Amino acid sequence: MTSRKKLGVSYVLMVLLTLVIVIPIIWLGFISMKSNSEILNDPLSLPQSLNFENYKSALRTLDLATLYKNTFFIAVCALVVEIVITFSSAVGLARLHYRNPSVSAGLQYFLLIGLAVSPFILLFPIYRINKFFGFGQHLSLILPYIATSVSFNTLLFTAYLRTVPKELDEAALMDGVSLWQLITKILVPIAKPVLATVIIFNLLYIWNEYPFASIMIENPAYYTISRGIAAFQGQYSIDYGGLSAYSVMVLLPELVFYGIFQRHVVDGMTVGAVKG
């Protein structure tokens, strides 16, 4: 095959692949503009006009603003706490001096066990633990989200912090900085790239998380956006139109976020995967 022909085939493959990936998302947009009877009786027809009935009905079924507020609150709390504590523990493991180095190595292995653990083993015991402590509502999700981030964050933070020359700490100590200043003034600014990776990775995880959210939160007033889907599925029928409109409203902000931070999102997720 000549290289021009080969390039032609490549173009065709690239466009076909992209269409296969994108069409289902566009189709969801079309569905959201059609009435329930159109969806069931005339499946291939395109929406006749810009019809926002489904969106109104979705907003009647669920208080989307509250769901967004809940998800945002949970994500911010979990992220702030987990970044502070896992970055600190990574500093403790990677920068402090241990008379017996196997202590810090052993502790690090202990913190990495979580990488191999599937959330499905944790669901029921965590449900019980939350009940035992009396943690309900937002807290019952924030704590497991923090805990499930520990292994991944420890892996990335310690690997990064070990690449920073130790002399830097010594020099700072000469200037008489405290532990707090060492972390906030010196190590955090240096670790900005890995912090960005960890934040993006964990933010997407929490935003999209479903299994924990489906078990821990019982009161609809505290539902997260992914948990809200269930509201459209009655025991005997599904509100197809409302469900599609709701999904679009969940999807659009995510795609906008992705559009803005695309480079960071792709880099963050792939770096995380390769190191994980």
Partner 1 sequence: MQLLSTRKNKLLLLLPTCLVYSVYIILPILLSAHYSFTKYSGISKPRFYGLKNYTRLLDDPYFWIALKNTAIILGISVVLLGIGAFFIALLFNQPMRGVNVCKALVFAPAIIASIIAGVIWGYVLDPVTGLVNNILRAVGLGKLALEWIGGKTLSPYSIAFVFFWQQAGYIAAIYLAGLKTIPHEMMEAAAVDGANFWQRLFRVTIPALKGTFVSVGILIITGSMKIFEIVQQLTGGGPTHYSETLVTYAYDTTFARGEYGYGMAMAMATFLISIVLMGIFTLLLRDRD
Site for partner 1 in 157-216 (CB under 8 A): 166, 169-170, 173, 179, 182, 204, 207-208, 210-211, 215
Q: Which two tokens stand for residue 64?
A: 């989307």
Q: Which two tokens stand for residue 182?
A: 């060492």
* Number of residues located near partner 1, criterion CB under 8 A: 91
Which of 52, 80, 124, 193: binder of partner 1 (CB under 8 A)? 124
160, burial (CB in 10 Å: exposed 0-12, middle 13-18, buried 19+)? buried
Exposed e or buried b per residue across 238-276, where buried means at least 16 C-beta atoms within 10 angstroms of its C-beta: ebbbbbbbbbbbbeeeeeeeeeeeeeebeebeebbeeee
Which of 48, 52, 221, 254: binder of partner 1 (CB under 8 A)? 254
Q: How far is the CB of 68 from partner 1 (least distance, A)?
A: 13
Q: What is the largest CA-CA distance in the chain?
A: 77
Asked if 46 touches partner 1 (CB under 8 A), the answer is no
Asked if 83 touches partner 1 (CB under 8 A), the answer is no
Asked if 252 touches partner 1 (CB under 8 A), the answer is no
Q: Which is nearer to partner 1, 64 or 269 (CB)?
A: 269
Q: Which two tokens stand for residue 39?
A: 């969806």
Whether the CB-CB separation of 35 and 51 falls below 8 Å is answered with: yes
Task: Write the single-letter amino acid at 162.
Answer: R
Helix (H, G, I), strand (E, B) or coil at 233: strand
Asked if 128 touches partner 1 (CB under 8 A), the answer is yes
Residue list 49-68, contact with partner 1 (CB under 8 A) = none
Q: Which is nearer to partner 1, 120 or 236 (CB)?
A: 120
Given the rule CB under 8 A, which of 47-55, 62-70, 148-156, 188-196 is the region that contacts partner 1?
A: 148-156
Q: How far is the CB of 213 from partner 1 (least distance, A)?
A: 9
